[in-house]
Amino acid sequence: MDFVNALVQGTLLGGLYALFAAGLSLIFGVMRLVNIAHGDLIVLAAYLGLTTTVALGVHPLVALIVVVPAMAGIGYVLQRAVLNHTLGDDILPPLLVTFGLSVIIQNALLEGYSADPQKMDAGALETASVALGPLSLGVLPLLTFAIAVAVIAGLQWCFYRTPLGRAFRATSDNQDIAQLMGLNKRHVFGLAMALALAVTAVAGILLGIRTSFDPSVGGGRLIFGFEAVIIGGLGNLWGTLVGGVILGVAQTVGATINPGWQLLAGHIAFLVILAVRPNGLFPRISA
Amino acid sequence: MPDPILKLNGLDAFYGDFQALYGVELSVHEGEVLAIIGANGAGKTTMLRSISGLITNDAAQISYRGQQIGNARPDVVAQMGLAMVPEGRQLFPSLSVEENLMIGGRVNRKGPWNLRRVYDLFPILEERRAQASTSLSGGQQQMVAIGRALMSNPDLIMFDEISLGLAPVIIRDIYKALPGIVGGGMSAVIVEQDITKALAVSSRVYCLQEGRVSLEGRSDTVSRDEIARAYFGVE
């Protein structure tokens, strides 16, 4: 029974990891940018959520109304002002610049919020649970998973059914030709980063409700996001959800066997899949 | 003769560090079909990429309807009414046939071309509208590439190596469709390896050789000898 429980809890945890990963996946898919600062942007969103809940006295989920557009705006400006200048044939500049950005965000958060762990208060939502046979499922993990599915379905719809998604895919396919179609690639990239950080805002708020956070935890979230993307296969959003679930299940099962093995089990699952299927389980684009 | 709509004023263009064009002077008039011929590496593609904004040059070296566009961004140039059918088609592989056409219509200029007109011109594309563009034959892909450029309702359409890599029967079909495309007053620049075809379809012809214009003339009066000299540089 413990094992089944671990499986279910791990699956729900995977929803959160998929949310960490979706933004990374989107950005890499559209502009081949590996965003090292992604984890720190998740943490930044959590702190913005914290400030919003405290300042306005609202529930963390209501804070999404403020934080999602704020992060989207930050994403657009960041892309237009900084990251667009790093993109080119060489993959090193964006890596270095986003690494620097990661350092800047961490230190700015330290300066602004101190190193003390913080947590958002979501009231009864944090402890509410529903019984499913012998299992007890937290409402928050269930909600997180449902949000993850909805976000990924929404991104999928945006990518394959809207003019914006068409612009993303065309620009991803061939930047030169996309520009000949009247697309300003700098603007398209800005919109992609805005969308990615909007998703990151959701991930950050859910993270901040679930666990305590401090300015240094971004790196770990980045790794989880990366692992989910790679397991699922590059460029496949549903694959990213599966990747998140596999990572979540591996961690939870590992923790059931021995509490110290939680992270290790996740990394081992990642390494095994990387060794057996180097392109991930459901790759869409070849890297 | 009225002012040309497109003018190259001593265009010096670079392909990386390599200078591909030296002081090229060229003009295209309203409704005119211009052929550009020349050996591989003569600078034809560099010229089209410069005009479309994919290669940045000095602003004054290219003017379009009186505006200097030598350093304009490609998306801005497209909005102004210049469209290109690139060498090797270069469709978007992750877009369906219809999506490829629709993204061409993003520029949203007014004019006669829309999905319906493109499908009327190339009926096979309507049958294949939902397929991945990569599943089409080379000729059908060229039709999509042409349709995609037309969807922007350009005033000037540029074809880079219009028949390269296509079967002769397909080339014939494409050329048969050309009058229907440029008949409506649209100007065209056609880069073509097949000199006979290029002369038959155009009113004027330019020949490039090692980055310089080696011949300029009316397509119906230039002689084969002149072309051979201009093309290969033999005396």
Residue-wise pLDDT tens digits, A61-85:
999 999 999 999 999 999 999 999 9
Q: What is the pLDDT of residue A285?
A: 56
Closest chain A residue to B153 measured between Cα atoms?
A181
Cα B130 from chain centre:
27
Q: In terms of Cα–Cα distance, which of A144, A108, A121 is closest to A216? A: A108
In a domain, B1, yes or no: no
Distance CA A38, CA A24 (A): 7
Q: What is the pTM of this model?
A: 0.92
In a domain, B54, yes or no: yes
Q: In terms of Cα–Cα distance, which of A242, A243, A16, A10 is closest to A147? A: A16
pLDDT average, residue stretch A42-66: 97
Distance CA A163, CA A178 (A): 13
B181: left (phi over 0), alpha (psi -120 to 50) or beta: alpha
Residue B103 token pair: 């993204």
Tell me the percentage of chain A whose pLDDT exceeds 70. 99
Residue to test with chain A: of B49, B54, B75, B160, most A Cβ within 10 A = B75
Residues of B in contact with A182 (CB under 8 A): 75, 78-79, 106-108, 152
CATH code (residue B72): 3.40.50.300
User: Measured between CA atoms, how close is A95 to chain B, in angstroms?
Assistant: 25
Domain range holding B210? 6-232
Closest chain B residue to A174 measured between Cα atoms?
B92
Average pLDDT value over all residues in chain B: 92
Helix intervals (H) in A211-281: 218-232, 237-257, 262-276
- A161 neighbors A246 (Cβ within 8 angstroms): no
CB atoms < 10 A from the CB of A158, how many? Answer: 16
DSSP of A124-177, one letter per residue? GGGT-EEEETTEEEEHHHHHHHHHHHHHHHHHHHHHHHSHHHHHHHHHHH-HHH
Distance CA A153, CA A225 (A): 18
In a domain, B96, yes or no: yes
- B35 neighbors B190 (Cβ within 8 angstroms): yes
Closest chain A residue to B80 measured between Cα atoms?
A182
HSE-up of residue A215 (Cα within 13 Å, Cβ side): 15
Residue to test with chain B: of A84, A169, A177, most B Cβ within 10 A = A177
In a domain, B220, yes or no: yes
Residues of B in contact with A166 (CB under 8 A): 95, 99, 102-103
Q: Is A38 exposed, middle or buried (0-12, 13-18, 19+ CB in 10 A)?
A: buried
Closest chain A residue to B105 measured between Cα atoms?
A181
Q: What is the pLDDT of residue A286?
A: 47
Count up the domains in chain B and report the number: 1
A180 contacts B52? CB cut-off 8 A? yes
A88 shares contact with chain B (CB less than 8 Å): no
Residue-wise pLDDT tens digits, B76-130:
999 999 999 999 999 999 999 999 999 999 988 999 999 999 999 999 999 999 9
Distance CA B37, CA B199 (A): 9
Q: Per mean pLDDT, which range of A67-81, A202-216, B211-225 is the poorest?
A: B211-225
